[in-house]
Amino acid sequence: MKKILITGALGQIGSELTVKMREIYGEQNVIATDIRQSDHEITQSGPFELLDVTDAKKMFDIAKRYDVDTIIHLAALLSATAEAKPLIAWNLNMGGLVNALEVARELRCQFFTPSSIGAFGPTTPKDHTPQDTIQRPTTMYGVNKVAGELLCDYYYYKFAVDTRGLRFPGLISYVTPPGGGTTDYAVEIYYEAIKKGAYTSYIAKGTYMDMMYMPDALNAILTLMEADASKLKHRNAFNVTAMSVEPEDIAKAIRKHIPEFKLNYEVDPVRQRIAESWPNSIDATAAKEEWGFKVEYDIEKMTKDMLMKLKQKKS
């Protein structure tokens, strides 16, 4: 049985991945860590440790004490926060990653960390962005993601660490809201549709970005981590996506369930500039061919489920 260490376990992906991995691999075999304490169920339902990922020694000590063989490194600042605090983002995103990779090297662990559509920039082909293409991002987050992809490749080639990764689009979920991202509007819109029947978008009409529903993102991580290594040509940073949407597409899908839903705009220039530097739609062919990536949710199915789950949460 695997013994897994998760960093950033209380974050948007971590809070759901920890629960899912504990179901599959056993509660005691998934060690959740985060920089903050909380009364979230994952701090009670299995091992939980406080960990600042810039503390290399503490990360190593925890991994060694629990004898882990897999590291899922999720702790990071998202794009908008990283743009507001670029040096903090560099130190946390790159410092945390290199610490986690070093632990993986020393303890011979399998390793996963997410990259992002943020690893692309304004000179990247905008539509059906290929797996291997120009990557000259203009954000600190993007710089971190490209450097992170390369660093994970390096640890594989140089030290034979079994590193794997996905370039995630905006992830949509009713469980834990994201914080500080550019794609967060696509989550907020559902919360506000239920609460107020209206949403004011900080992303302009007609701005397309890739999105994915969280259950598909979790399945993608689990499938990639179990995939036959000999079939992986792109070990790290596989393009994955479920849909390419702009705010009006989501509003249209919501109106099928809440006909009076209103979408207004008050564009935030910082996040709009970031969004415009990212692709409209990325091509996930390599992920499909190399390890069988597939999704279950399109915009209609996701919207129905999001609204139902958020209504249940409210009542």
Can you give the binding site for ligand AKB, defined by CB under 6 A? 78-79, 116-118, 141, 168-170, 178, 181-183
Dist CA 201 CA 141 (whole Å): 22
Find the catalytic residue in 25, 66, 141, 154: 141
What is the number of other CB atoms lying within 10 angstroms of the CB of residue 306? 27
Cβ proximity to ligand AKB, 6 vs 13, nearer residue: 13
User: 86, 140 in Cβ contact below 8 A?
Assistant: yes
Dist CA 63 CA 141 (whole Å): 27
Q: What letter does residue 260 receive in the DSSP assignment?
A: T
* Residue 212: strand pairing partners: 171
Dist CA 18 CA 107 (whole Å): 21
Spatial CA neighbour of 169 closest among 111, 226, 238: 238
Least CB distance to ligand AKB at residue 210 (A)? 8
Cβ proximity to ligand AKB, 29 vs 131, nearer residue: 131
Q: Kindly give the interhelix angle for 247-255 and 299-314, rounded to the nearest 10 degrees.
A: 60
How far CA 103 is from CA of 69, 165, 188, 242, 294, in Å, comes to: 10, 17, 36, 33, 31
Least CB distance to ligand AKB at residue 88 (A)? 15
Least CB distance to ligand AKB at residue 182 (A)? 4
The phi, psi pair for 7, rounded to 5°, reads -100, 155
The single residue listed with the structure tokens 């970005």 is 209
Least CB distance to ligand AKB at residue 163 (A)? 19
Cβ proximity to ligand AKB, 62 vs 74, nearer residue: 74
Least CB distance to ligand AKB at residue 100 (A)? 18
User: 212, 240 in Cβ contact below 8 A?
Assistant: yes
The single residue listed with the structure tokens 């705009």 is 265
Cβ proximity to ligand AKB, 29 vs 144, nearer residue: 144
Q: Is 66 a catalytic residue?
A: no
> What residues are annotated to the active site?
141
